[in-house]
């Protein structure tokens, strides 16, 4: 019992230390359909009316052969403007390959066709990663043969 309490206390200290250093504490893996919510805050308003925002994610862990054909990068885009400088993106996880994804880009588009591209870590310093677990497998079978037709 004492060992169990000591382990619990050590885990609480490690979590507190990680939070104090600004590190993310692991959260459970997301599944297709689970919500993804982010807030993007700009230092001044966009000149023009924003009509599209894309938040882009890319797989950073190894690709899984048994999930060939599933997405290894994707964007979410459902948003609402909270203020002239703050936007809430509220979308869901697509059916993507299992693994760890990095939020690596943000793109704003206006009604006048202006495009603003931002990338991690050049334009924003927060490293945002998510883990996705998908049960889909064997989307595309292996090719048995390719022969010329006469």
Domain residue ranges in the chain: 25-132
Partner residues linked to 73 by β-bridges? 58
Q: Does residue 107 contact residue 54 with C-beta atoms inside 8 Å?
A: yes
pLDDT digits (tens, 9 = 90+) for 79-113: 999 999 999 999 999 999 999 999 999 999 999 99
Structure-derived torsion over alpha carbons of residues 35, 36, 41, 47, reported in degrees to the nearest 10: -90
- What are residue 64's phi and psi, to 5 degrees? -100, 120
Work out the average pLDDT over 21-38. 78
Q: What's the topology of domain 25-132?
A: Immunoglobulin-like (2.60.40)
Which pLDDT score, from 0 to 100, does residue 19 have? Answer: 43
* pLDDT confidence tier of residue 150, bands split at 50, 70 and 90: confident
Q: How far apart are CA 63 and CA 133, in angstroms?
A: 13
> Residue range 114-137: average pLDDT?
96
Average pLDDT of the segment spanning 70-74: 97
As a whole number of Å, the end-to-end CA separation of the chain is: 76
Residues with Cβ < 8 Å from 10, sequence gap 6 or more? none
Task: Report the pLDDT value the prediction gives residue 139, as an integer from 0 to 100.
Answer: 84
Q: Can you give the pTM of this predicted structure?
A: 0.77
């Amino acid at each position: 019992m004492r060992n169990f309490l000591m382990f619990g206390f050590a885990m609480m200290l490690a979590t507190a230390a990680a939070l104090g250093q600004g590190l993310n504490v692991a959260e459970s893996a997301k599944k297709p359909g689970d919500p993804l919510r982010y807030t993007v805050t700009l230092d001044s308003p966009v000149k023009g009316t924003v009509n599209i925002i894309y938040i882009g994610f890319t797989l950073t862990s190894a690709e899984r052969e048994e999930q060939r054909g599933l997405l290894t990068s994707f964007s979410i885009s459902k948003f609402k403007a909270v203020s002239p400088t703050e936007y809430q993106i509220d979308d869901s996880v697509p059916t993507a390959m299992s693994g760890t994804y990095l939020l690596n880009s943000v793109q704003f588009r206006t009604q006048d066709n202006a495009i603003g591209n931002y990338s991690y870590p050049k334009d924003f310093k927060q490293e945002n990663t998510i883990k996705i677990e998908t049960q889909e497998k064997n989307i595309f079978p292996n090719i048995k043969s390719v022969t010329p037709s006469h």
